[in-house]
Chain A
């Protein structure tokens, strides 16, 4: 169907009779933590309305790779909690933050042979020990390599300054191993899961987001309409560049300056 580039001035109708699900590539928190984080906004989702990438990743592994019983995590508590909720034992994460092992000693690390998956997301405690451990699991033990997302940058703090995001950890490991299976946006697995769980028709869905290569592509891959807000990572200039690429561009159905709920 033809894509319409309709500029919306605000989407105040969104709250009427519409089910909303928050889809986030931030893997540092569990779903439960998100209900608390979002509680001070007017929009208060309950736990079933949160589709964050740690929860998606754990569900994806459980569903499609049931043989995985133990995973090594480069990431924070969110991924750990969600994997454990699926009955998967977890090594690494914050426990390996301050490992007192020199790079030379890393050459002699003996990894747990039962680790069948390495799961990587944003990790501000990323270090050479974790990179090495994950490398050995994949290269020597044939473990699967999952990435919660490949986001390059993300706003942090109150001023929204940009900082390197989870994709940077993923690319470091990818460079010495192989491309990962990306479970978060833009993998449309999340779309399928939501449609199935909520019993909704695809044509009645709208994906709203500020990032072309994760949010909008997620919606496009999932066969649903998309709305880009220019309040975040993507500027109108970047959007225009994509439109000029024609069929090769990532182009949303709609875009707007900001979303006023």
Chain B
């Protein structure tokens, strides 16, 4: 089972996963196929899908949301029959502080869902703010990633969680569905009837992947091939994986 915390999907993967549109980032699936591994639909959990499931299960009365995210998150909500006002439609909205007075929100929006929207702007943040504070909409964050690796020579970049934090500062703490919340792992264990003791969470990031596994009460294996270095692992004591390895060769 594969968990992806990035919801910034602009390419919808339709070819290899037969018969259905599952909003998984193309790069995620390419990474998997490197290992000559063909995941089936049920084995790939994107956090956008998980977030839509979470809202559907816990707030069945919600039929309209504001998604501060991209196509992946939008479509996974629409597939659950939830209407979406998408921040993509606000991509080119320019605003100055005085004009905030005139922003009119859709009063039927009952939740604000944040994912990764790298086209964020002040209009979107204000719109989401008004939904939460004037409409009492729930605030649900798919992810809280602070930095993410890039394709550029070991460089990192600001993650999608930065906008969630901006919104949090003027509203309140959101419910975070993605890692390190063990919601996804618990869902799998429940659906398939697995034994916790026979499950292993493998990941390269201490405070999302490994903490997720710990929170779900399963074994954890940290690979030092990505975000967390050996130095970073031993410079802290809060999060301890059961195992660690330089890199994973399947």
**Which residues of A are in contact with B by a Cβ distance under 8 Å?**
28, 103, 106-108, 122-128, 131-132, 135, 139-140, 150, 152-153, 156-159, 161-165, 167-176
Contacts and interface: CB of A to CB of B under 8 A. Distances in A.
Contacts of A150: 169
Contacts of B166: 164, 168-169, 171-172
Contacts of B151: 107
Of the candidates B121, B144, B156, B169, the one having the most CB atoms from chain A within 10 angstroms of its own CB is B169
Interface residues of B, number: 38
Given A158-B101, A175-B146, A164 B162 contact: no
B95 interface: yes
Contacts of B168: 171
18 contacts: A107-B150, A107-B152, A108-B152, A124-B96, A125-B121, A125-B122, A128-B119, A131-B158, A135-B157, A140-B155, A156-B98, A162-B133, A164-B129, A164-B170, A168-B166, A169-B166, A173-B158, A175-B146
B165 interface: yes
B162 A131 contact: yes
Interface of B: 8, 95-102, 118-122, 125-126, 129, 133, 144, 146-147, 150-152, 155-159, 161-163, 165-170
B180 to A, nearest CB: 15
B146 A176 contact: yes
B129 A175 contact: no
A106 B150 CA distance: 10
B136 to A, nearest CB: 15
B244 to A, nearest CB: 24
A103 B97 contact: no
Contact of B100 (A28, A156, A173): A156
